[in-house]
């Protein structure tokens, strides 16, 4: 859980300040704020961390009545997922998906990759798969700005 300390506009983005619980492990982004039992706001970048309040940026405009509320803070990626995206030396190869009995999951959004799923191809590297959408968003476009351009 996290407490929403503030929300402010900053050009084309919104900055959300959160009081996070102790003991969270990186990476803090990408992540989401969940309230009313739904994932409501996607957090794209950590803007600042002053030790008490961590500021995140988002392209979304969250409801301002979140200030003062306690919400669920949901981290999306493991350290391994983050490292797979951030490692600029890693080489990704586009491949056809495996058969259903050997299906794989995208290490970033967990979509199923197999010849019997909606995602029938993907990018493969070091025993990891990334679906085409995540490859474009996080590797090619570097949406989170973590690999300094791909």
pLDDT in tens, 56-65: 999 888 877 8
69 and 99 part of one domain: no
Q: What is the DSSP letter of 119?
A: B
Domain termination residue (choose one: 76, 92, 120): 76
Q: Does one domain contain both 68 and 105?
A: no
- Residue 107 covered by a domain: yes
Distance from chain centroid for Cα 56: 12
0.75 surpassed by pTM: yes
For 6-58, what is each residue's pLDDT tens digit? 999 888 889 999 999 988 888 999 999 998 888 889 998 898 888 789 999 99
Q: Are residues 67 and 87 in the same domain?
A: no
Domain of residue 109, residue span? 80-140
Is 25 domain-assigned? yes
- The count of domains in the chain is 2
Residues 7 and 71 in one domain: yes
């Amino acid at each position: 859980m996290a407490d929403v300390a503030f929300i402010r506009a900053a050009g084309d983005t919104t900055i959300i300040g959160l009081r996070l619980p102790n003991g969270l492990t990186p990476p803090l982004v990408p992540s989401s704020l969940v309230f009313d039992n739904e994932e409501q706001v996607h957090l794209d970048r950590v803007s600042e961390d002053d030790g008490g309040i961590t500021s995140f940026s988002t392209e979304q405009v969250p409801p301002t009545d979140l200030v003062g509320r306690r919400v669920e803070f949901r981290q999306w990626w493991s350290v391994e997922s983050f490292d797979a995206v951030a490692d600029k030396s890693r080489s990704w190869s586009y491949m056809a998906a495996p058969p259903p009995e050997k299906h794989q999951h995208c290490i970033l959004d967990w979509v199923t990759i197999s010849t019997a799923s909606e995602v029938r191809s993907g990018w493969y590297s070091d025993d990891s798969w990334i679906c085409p959408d995540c490859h474009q968003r996080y590797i090619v476009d570097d949406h989170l700005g973590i690999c300094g351009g791909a």
